Every structure is written in C-alpha cells, then in structure tokens.
Amino acid sequence: MIFEIDKKQVFASTAGKEFDPTKKTVFLLHGSGLSHIVWSLAEQFLSNKDLNILSLDLPGHGNSDGPCIDSIEKIADWIESVRLFLKTEQVSIVGHSQGCLEALEYGSRFKKNTYKLVFLAGSYRMPVNQDLIDLADSGDKKAVHLMMKWGYEGSRKFIGGNPVEKIINSSREVKEILATDLKACNNYKNGKEASAAIECPTLLIFGALDKMVPSENGKKFANLIKNSETQIINECGHMIMFEKAFEMREKVAEFLKK
C-alpha cells in the first residue's frame, strides 16, 4: 500500500490485502534503522484475524521517502497523520524497540484515537551508548555489528544471513538512517510521564535474555502503565520478531482480539 503524507510517499505492507474500513486497524512499527521487513513472519498471521494490518516504513526507511524524522515526538505526529489519512477512528499499535517509544508517545497524546498498545522489547527510556552513536554518525558498519551482537540471544546463526544486516547494508544507511534513529531514542525524555498517561489496554512482551532491555527495566516500565499485562518469552533476546516469531504473534493476536 502506497500513499502520501506531506507530499512524501509512504509505504505500508498489508499482507497483500485491501484496507477495509469496517475492520479494526493495527500499525506495526519497526525499530531503529529497520523497515517493514521485520514483521514478515507476523503480518500475514495477524491479518487473518479480521484486522487491517499496516507494517509501516517510517520516512526514510525501506520504501518510504525521506528524510528520516529526527525525534520521537515528531514521529508520533506523523503516525497521527497516517491515521487521519486512513480515516479510521482508532488504531492499535504494535511497536518494537524504538517503535515502543513512538507508540508510547502517541498513546499518551492521542488517547481517544488509541485502542490498544503492544510493546515488544521496549522501555520508557532507551539511552544509546555514545560510541555506538559515533560509529553510526560516521557511517561505520561496525555499528550494525554491535547491534547484532547485543540484539540476539547468544551467537545465533541465520540461514541466508542475519536479517538486520540485510536491511541496514550500506554506510549511507548507517549514517543517514540508523544514526538519526539512535539519536532520536537517546534524546527522548518524556517516557515516564507518557507511561503514566496511557489509558488503553496495554501488553508488554519481553525476551528473558534481552541484553538491550533487561527484565528489570521491563518490570519498571510495566509498573508505570496502569492497565497493562506482561508476558515473558524464554530463550529469547531483543529481536523477538525473528527469534520467537510464532510465539510472539500468538500472544499479540490473543491480546488484540479480546
């Protein structure tokens, strides 16, 4: 699905289905430097649950026109622009990592328009190591290798190559996309207040072995959100959509259909 927001082309994968205004709508938000591809093992499954599923490419990512948006707050405004374009009264949002910050900010500010929220491997604060930011700013692909090292449980092997490395595969993408995202995460300071303002039903899913968002951080995040429930997936790190896609999508679908 391709449409325009502010005269810029936006791409959303819909699992090959037409948007149906009679169905509930769910936005899937990817993490830093990534794209709609991260939801490839989930979007078809979820779309078969009588839902409109839109795996959005943020501006500058995947197949959407750039430039990238440089703050979480501005991305939340952009998400509202997408909802308005679709003319849907409410949306549910499933966010991963940086996508959780965006969903959090959106849900706290656009309460009447938010039906449900799902946070995957997220927190209300996601500070980024300055060395990683510096590597990304210089276009050094070591930034991607560090993300992969910290992003997965153990030294996991992937048939056909690591999916993160396939999405962020050039120095230009590291410098222009990943660096912008990492700085947006690092600069976001409103998470605690936004968490307390969330009113809709919320599901938080964490990987038991996540090194980027340890379980203790996850518990603090969950405790800030009043109407929330938490699920832990064992033997899983930060990249839940790849590592435990089938278990994750079952939990998300069950929550969304309640």
Here the tokens at position 97 are 């990592």
Tens-digit pLDDT profile for residues 210-247: 989 988 888 899 999 999 999 999 999 999 999 999 99
Tens-digit pLDDT profile for residues 135-163: 999 999 999 988 887 777 665 556 556 77
Distance CA 248, CA 244 (A): 6
pLDDT band for position 43 (cuts 50, 70, 90): very high
Q: Domain residues of the chain, as ranges?
A: 2-125+190-257
Tens-digit pLDDT profile for residues 155-205: 555 655 677 888 888 999 999 999 999 999 999 999 999 999 999 999 999
Which residues, 6 or more positions from 190, have their beta carbon under 8 angstroms from its beta carbon? 72, 73, 105, 108
Which residues, 6 or more positions from 166, have their beta carbon under 8 angstroms from its beta carbon? 37
User: How many percent of the chain have pLDDT more than 70?
Assistant: 97
Level-2 CATH architecture, domain 2-125+190-257: 3-Layer(aba) Sandwich (3.40)
Model pLDDT, residue 169 = 84
Decide if pLDDT at 19 tops 90.
yes
